[in-house]
Structure 1
Amino acid sequence: MARRDLSGAVDFAVLESMTGGDAAISEEVLGLFVEQAALWSAMLDPKAQGWRDGVHTIRGAAAGIGAGELAKVCAAAEGAEQSLAAPALERVRTALDAALADVAAYRHELMLKGLRA
């Protein structure tokens, strides 16, 4: 998996702008995103009391790395009525999976660049 595998779920220009193009900082930020996603995705269950908190946290983290579609889907889910939570959360999980796949490809590319340097 490498940069060629990116789907466009994450606009890494946002991340690179935020980190000044520093690969080590980008890697650290993306690592934190992956950790947060693992932590908070467990709450993406409409039966969980704090599902909106999980969605809100993922939304902020997504916006920070350039995962605009994920942030948008999270914003919609946050405002969803409880009766519509299940399909809204499924859309969040799908967008999160796409963002995580892009993050994995980008991190792999960063690792390869590090080996070449």
Structure 2
Amino acid sequence: MSRRDLSGAVDFSVLDRMVGGDDAVAEEVLELFVEQAAMWSAMLDPKADGWRDALHTIRGAAAGIGAGALAEVCQAAETADQAVASAGLERVRDALNQALADVAAWRHELMLRGLRA
């Protein structure tokens, strides 16, 4: 995977501004996002206690790395009625998977840049 594999689910210029262009810090932030996404995914079930808290956490992390669409669907699902929670959580899982694919492609690009340096 490399930059050509990006879907646009993440605007990495947001992350780049946050880390001041430091690729090592960007890699650390993305690694944390990926690790925590695995934990959050387990909570994306309307029967699970704390699913709204998980959405709130994902929303903040998504906004921090530039995954605006993910942050938006998290916000919508977080404030939705319990009766429609399953559909909203499914949209969150889809957006999270798209963001994670972009993160994987970007991390690959960072690795390649490191090899060239």
TM range (shorter): over 0.9
Cα distance in 2 for partners of 1:5, 1:83 equals 36
**Partner SS for 2:10:** coil
Cα distance in 2 for partners of 1:43, 1:31 equals 20
Q: Identity of aligned pairs, percent?
A: 76
Q: Which residue of 2 aligns with 1:26?
A: 26
Moved more, 96-105 or 47-56: 47-56
Q: Which residue of 2 aligns with 1:40?
A: 40
Q: Which residue of 1 aligns with 2:105?
A: 105
Moved more, 68-77 or 33-42: 33-42
Offset of 1:107 from its aligned partner?
0.1
Offset of 1:36 from its aligned partner?
1.2
Cα distance in 2 for partners of 1:116, 1:42 equals 37
Where do 5+ consecutive residues of structure 2 fail to align? none
**Which AA in structure 1 matches 2:15?**
L
* TM-align CA RMSD: 0.5
| Post-superposition CA distance 1:4-34 (Å, at most 9, x none) | 0000000000000000110000000001111
Aligned structure 1 segments of 4 or more residues deviating by more than 4 angstroms: none
Offset of 1:49 from its aligned partner?
1.4
